[in-house]
Amino acid sequence: MKKTRFAPSPTGYLHLGHAYSAMQCWSWASQEGGSVILRIEDIDQARCRELFVQGIFDDLSWMGFAWEDSVRFQSQHGEDYQAALGKLQDLGVLYPCTCSRKDIEKALSAPHIEDQSIYPGTCRDNPAAVQEMPHNLRLDVKKAIGITGPLFWTDERAGKQQAEPAQLGDVVIARKGIGTSYHLSVVVDDALQGIDTIIRGQDLFQVTHIHRLLQALLELHTPHYIHHDLLLDKDGKRFAKRLGGGLIRTLREGGQHPANVLEKIKLFSQEDADSQSQA
Ligand code: GLU
Ligand code: ZN
């Protein structure tokens, strides 16, 4: 059976953007006769809260989205990420990096992608005595792609893509104090959980180039990708947790009916707005 996942991080309450993403997952499942699993991406324990995990359960249930029983909490599966990390280390594609955010900004005359600075490779080029200090492990992307050769992946809307992981630079694969990263955990979990279709926002389109490279290095199956458009508010901005706007919980507790929320989402949706304006 076809399978996708909804994978929020419990660092805040769900907002309309999350609800839109959830709607994409669950409508896909009903169209394809597939299922949706729920995964809680809580590797960063300093930022995650039990309260928000409960919020995710409550909000999804209220909106009528049902998930398969076994919810995977990433924080409980460190050994799976360590095993994958070991494989990457054996391939010799990781290197320790002690640079702080400030160091990186200073070293850059600064290429940025979506607010994120591209790591200039300082520690790759100067493998100093960093081993003993707390450090991140970065992926030597050029070396890695040299091992795998050209890679491809497919997005439902954008079609076949040649992976260009170098555009994101040497990303962090294991964060200091955490031992894994979003990139590593998500790739390992999607494979372990047998996810064949990944449905997520367009904002994660670029990172798929890195995920494809990790899949090749770790000899994992590559899923099919659907990167959906992002839900924008009236001012054309993305719904973001930190703005506190459009929280599902607020709507739920304010006595709204879930159907109103799903209608509201459709109104804000770019795709629907486009098709209406063309009609
Ligand atoms: N946990 C990520 C987030 O909350 C989503 C990860 C993914 O879908 O790949 O944005
Ligand atoms: Zn460094």
Q: Which of 6, 14, 44, 186 to mutate to test the pocket of ligand 1 (most atoms within 8 A of CB)?
A: 186
Q: How far is CA 23 from CA 59, 64, 173, 229, in A?
A: 12, 10, 30, 12
Q: How many CB atoms are closer than 10 A to CB 181? A: 23
- pLDDT cut 90: percent of the chain above it: 73
- Rounded to whole angstroms, the Cα distance separating 4 from 162 reads 23
Q: What would the two tokens of residue 142 be?
A: 């050029």
Ligand nearest to the CA of 119: 2
Q: pLDDT tens digits for 250-264?
A: 999 999 999 988 887
Q: pLDDT tens digits for 172-181?
A: 999 999 999 9
Question: Is a pLDDT exceeding 70 seen at residue 112?
Answer: no
First to last CA, the chain: 36
Place of tokens 């199956």: 221
Residue 5, classed as helix, strand or coil, is: strand
Q: Separation of 251 CA from ligand 1 center, angstroms? A: 23
Q: Separation of 128 CA from ligand 1 center, angstroms? A: 34
The burial of 97, by beta-carbon neighbours within 10 Å (0-12 exposed, 13-18 middle, 19 or more buried), is given as buried
Question: Is a pLDDT exceeding 80 seen at residue 272?
Answer: no
- The whole-number pLDDT of residue 265 equals 83
Residues sharing a CB contact under 8 Å with residue 41, sequence separation 6 or more, in sequence order: 7, 8, 9, 10, 74, 182, 185, 186
Atom of ligand 1 at shortest distance to CA of 207? 9
Atom of ligand 1 at shortest distance to CA of 11? 4
Question: Is a pLDDT exceeding 70 seen at residue 222?
Answer: yes
